[in-house]
A and B are shown apart, each in its own frame.
Chain A
């Protein structure tokens, strides 16, 4: 099979500040099922990075195992990718981040990869506030092994071949909030307008930015009775806010000055503009986020949007007080204490 994208692109494709077109942010052709929600998320990542003029080669994209974890092949073809072992992407991303703090790290995972085999690594990446975007493409089903329920499958939800799920689902956003994640969002793969600015806000955030994206599996979990089917989600969505991403360069213009908006300053100096639909929610309050999620759940609604962000977030390098020069760039002169110091150490052991 050939998965190469045809080289031709319309000559008048718009360019961003770097002179790149969206083509420069694409990857290989997807081998996922036609209509897979994950492909929409890949496209949202492409759009988000294009619009923010992120140099593609300064991105490292990492994943674990599963349908979702295959997707980094399908975006940012000029970025280094790392498809690690099942559920262990967070540790690889953490190590990579330690070696070079100057790259943008986008981790893609799924509900099996995050909520089951990788739960331990997920929660500890949250706890460490590793500076990365962590996207969980959550379809509530195991696709590659043909349709088993996952740990995020809702009670009573039916997959294509199974009985209604009898177990409590794991709510990853609630867990991330309770663990102290400094950025938590929930979205839907079919809602590009909401998802792209959320990804942009997550990129701009300094620290661990978690985005759970409900992403229907067309083959095994897009059936009547499933709570992660396209129709179900469209009928049960509730939104915290409508999100606009305002790049740093536009920050000083005085365009958004009306009272109904809530402006949030990101660590890179950029801002996001939240149009609140529900004035009850305070995006800086974990308690508010958790309460609103509970309320929506009680009303059989899925709350989407940015649920929480901490503007004062301190990412792991700041906590650890590591040098601003990437560690991988240090040479012998900085790293090796030399023969004279070794002679002194020998002396201390006599």
Chain B
């Protein structure tokens, strides 16, 4: 099949069996592309079990820096017989299917519109290795070598990566390098290399880093001054705490005593996890937990207490597909409403929506400032796609002059000099945010009772309706104040008047921006966009919607949860907010967004404007 040569712009997918050690081989490949200066975005698509089921790893390679999912597969590395039929069918016309030809491919699976490249990997491994586990592991490394030859990649990059990866474990370097080289040579010998898809060195990643969002959150918690984490393991959030622990071990051991300047308690469940966070925060520590949807559900009662009793607490929710257990290892943005209004009664919580690892790092650190400044829960809504996949990101930055905002806390001296009566819930500054004291501060002043029941300004229990209303309205005032301090939306306007806008948040950003780019370049449709970064919505969010006749709200859930949140908070005519929804558990693609918007716009201009077909 004669083709055009495509350099540094394609999607490759690896089909493997879970538990066979393919993850490190696949990562080796994507890291090598990254090291050659080409932007990549890898995505793990894995089952919620330990071994045996199909698992995929999809890597988008794009020298122009588009990092969302594109949609469609150009090259499939099919190493799983169980999913082979489906994997072959997924390859786009003109693509390649690379497989282990130790066993012949069933003729029924053959397609004429793609190329098949077979390499007898298992046979070669049987020849080279005695240990069955080695045969399995090195077969994976070997297909990476095959790809190096097929794409004409620099073998030295792989050698360097392997030597970096096994630093301190010298014995492992040579066998891994051998496996890559073996695969490389087999491909060269058996096929015409390179094929039509090429990887060519570029200088397009600048000083960017490749890191997953959960590591960024764990690191953000260290930099943000968290000293206590209470948690309960749950996919896909577990590695947030794993990374927090790892960086704490590195940075938080007291050099004089050898003791820990942090405490991590693995709780018996999520209820206890958030309880510990609330107890520690009440007592003056910066504390946090990490969880996912089912954990968030369990934490509801305590979140209501923290809202009403005004106790700082930070929760990192790495969202996965719900409802209930849903698809535990697939991604969604479906905890938006559950987080915003968690618990019974009139509650609402500050939510942050990072789109990149850098924002995961910064917003996690900032979450502690916000939580303490406003004495309330702050929920950071990441998701599996951002949390567990390597994402290209601007490097993390920290200003060494930065001081933690510990919020309004009276010290012993403040209390000593106070002539008036201390009121825990008094609105002293008129911004709705009261002053607190840490337990144990002063012998006779500043003690108060924290409770979930209604109370007056002096924290005295009361069921007086007027006092209750005053308190609830002060909380509302505090909420308004908070809206001025949370991260502002990121607004990108086109240079011409535009009546249609697009809203995105979190991991829908990259695909949305790419879709908008192509709508403009391919279809001449240019739209303004806004990335929402936080709830409460700052004034700019409302203004953006006000300025546009119609606004698409791109999100990864069935029920258009962000759209509901916007309608609920703003009273806009719901007709003006057009939901654009993707919720099959995979990350939303640029192609899907582009087609949906293009079709909607074409229909609105050629026929009388109708009620959205998205309902």
Question: A residues 285-332 with Cβ under 8 Å of B?
Answer: 320-325, 327-332
- Docked complex Cα distance between A237 and B437 (Å): 44
Residues of B within 8 A of A336 (CB): 222-223, 225, 398
Residues of B within 8 A of A16 (CB): none
Q: Is A98 among interface residues, defined by CB-CB distance under 8 A? A: yes
Q: Is B450 among interface residues, defined by CB-CB distance under 8 A? A: yes
Q: Is B285 among interface residues, defined by CB-CB distance under 8 A? A: yes
Q: Is the CB of A80 within 8 A of B285?
A: no
Q: Is B438 among interface residues, defined by CB-CB distance under 8 A? A: yes
Question: B residues 264-314 with Cβ under 8 Å of A?
Answer: 265, 267-269, 271-285, 287, 301-302, 305
B237 to A: closest C-beta gap in Å: 18
B309 to A: closest C-beta gap in Å: 8
A50 to B: closest C-beta gap in Å: 15
Known pairs A57-B442, A327-B227, A338-B398; A88 contacts B272 (CB<8 A): yes
Q: Is the CB of B283 within 8 A of A100?
A: yes
Q: Is the CB of B271 within 8 A of A88?
A: yes
Q: Is A346 among interface residues, defined by CB-CB distance under 8 A? A: yes
Q: Is A233 among interface residues, defined by CB-CB distance under 8 A? A: no
Residues of A within 8 A of B437 (CB): 80
Residues of A within 8 A of B450 (CB): 80-83
Known pairs A88-B275, A121-B275, A332-B403; A322 contacts B225 (CB<8 A): no
Q: Is B449 among interface residues, defined by CB-CB distance under 8 A? A: yes
Interface size class of B (residues with CB under 8 A): 35 or more
Total A residues in contact with B, Cβ cutoff 8 Å: 60
- Docked complex Cα distance between A338 and B402 (Å): 10
- Docked complex Cα distance between A346 and B207 (Å): 9
Question: A71-79, A164-172, A183-191, A224-232: which lies at the B interface?
Answer: A71-79
The interface bits of chain A over 200-234 (1 if a CB of B lies within 8 angstroms of the residue's CB, else 0) are 00000000000000000000000000000000000
B296 to A: closest C-beta gap in Å: 16
Residues of B within 8 A of A331 (CB): 404
Known pairs A95-B277, A342-B397; A350 contacts B439 (CB<8 A): no
Residues of B within 8 A of A329 (CB): 284
Q: Is the CB of A99 within 8 A of B279?
A: yes
Nearest residue in A to B395 (C-beta to C-beta)?
A346
Q: Is B20 among interface residues, defined by CB-CB distance under 8 A? A: no
- Docked complex Cα distance between A57 and B440 (Å): 5
Q: Is the CB of B265 within 8 A of A94?
A: yes
Question: B70-78, B252-260, B584-592: which lies at the A interface?
Answer: B252-260
Of the candidates A60, A81, A95, A339, the one having the most CB atoms from chain B within 10 angstroms of its own CB is: A95
Known pairs A85-B305, A95-B280, A342-B396; A327 contacts B223 (CB<8 A): no
A117 to B: closest C-beta gap in Å: 10
Q: Is A55 among interface residues, defined by CB-CB distance under 8 A? A: yes
Residues of A within 8 A of B279 (CB): 62, 82, 84, 91-99
Residues of A within 8 A of B258 (CB): 321
Q: Is A345 among interface residues, defined by CB-CB distance under 8 A? A: yes
- Docked complex Cα distance between A349 and B461 (Å): 53
A119 to B: closest C-beta gap in Å: 11
Of the candidates A102, A329, A335, the one having the most CB atoms from chain B within 10 angstroms of its own CB is: A335
Q: Is the CB of A80 within 8 A of B287?
A: no
Q: Is the CB of B451 within 8 A of A57?
A: no
A175 to B: closest C-beta gap in Å: 15
Q: Is the CB of A337 within 8 A of B259?
A: no
Q: Is the CB of A81 within 8 A of B442?
A: no
Residues of B within 8 A of A78 (CB): 443-444, 447
B74 to A: closest C-beta gap in Å: 26
Q: Is the CB of A88 within 8 A of B302?
A: yes
Q: Is the CB of B280 within 8 A of A335?
A: no
Residues of B within 8 A of A97 (CB): 279
Q: Is B209 among interface residues, defined by CB-CB distance under 8 A? A: yes
Nearest residue in B to A103 (C-beta to C-beta)?
B440
With beta carbons under 8 angstroms apart, the residue of A62, A82, A99 that contacts B228 is A99
Q: Is A66 among interface residues, defined by CB-CB distance under 8 A? A: no
Q: Is the CB of B404 within 8 A of A332?
A: yes
Nearest residue in A to B268 (C-beta to C-beta)?
A124
Residues of B within 8 A of A91 (CB): 230, 267, 271-276, 279
The interface bits of chain B over 445-484 (1 if a CB of A lies within 8 angstroms of the residue's CB, else 0) are 0011111110000000100000000000000000000000
Q: Is B11 among interface residues, defined by CB-CB distance under 8 A? A: no
Q: Is A236 among interface residues, defined by CB-CB distance under 8 A? A: no
Q: Is the CB of B227 within 8 A of A328?
A: yes
Q: Is the CB of A92 within 8 A of B223?
A: no
Residues of A within 8 A of B269 (CB): 120
With beta carbons under 8 angstroms apart, the residue of B209, B442, B444 that contacts A346 is B209
Q: Is A9 among interface residues, defined by CB-CB distance under 8 A? A: no
Q: Is A10 among interface residues, defined by CB-CB distance under 8 A? A: no
- Docked complex Cα distance between A343 and B398 (Å): 9
- Docked complex Cα distance between A258 and B211 (Å): 70
Nearest residue in B to A73 (C-beta to C-beta)?
B449
Q: Is A128 among interface residues, defined by CB-CB distance under 8 A? A: yes
Nearest residue in A to B210 (C-beta to C-beta)?
A349
- Docked complex Cα distance between A124 and B254 (Å): 28
Q: Is the CB of B275 within 8 A of A92?
A: yes
B307 to A: closest C-beta gap in Å: 12
With beta carbons under 8 angstroms apart, the residue of A62, A72, A93, A124 that contacts B267 is A124
Known pairs A328-B284, A346-B209; A80 contacts B271 (CB<8 A): no
- Docked complex Cα distance between A78 and B442 (Å): 9
- Docked complex Cα distance between A320 and B259 (Å): 9
Identify 11 residue pairs between A and B in the complex whose beta-carbon atoms are under 8 Å apart, listed by A's number. A57-B439, A57-B442, A95-B276, A100-B438, A120-B268, A327-B263, A327-B280, A332-B225, A337-B247, A349-B211, A350-B209
Residues of A within 8 A of B (CB): 55-58, 60, 62, 72-73, 77-85, 88, 90-100, 102-103, 120-121, 124, 128, 320-325, 327-332, 334-339, 341-343, 345-346, 349-350
Closest 8 pairs (CB-CB, A-B): A95-B279, A91-B275, A95-B276, A99-B285, A328-B284, A80-B439, A92-B279, A99-B283
- Beyond contacts A100-B284, A321-B258: 12 other A-B pairs, Cβ-Cβ < 8 A, are A73-B461, A83-B451, A88-B301, A91-B276, A92-B278, A95-B281, A98-B276, A99-B280, A328-B283, A332-B403, A335-B252, A349-B211
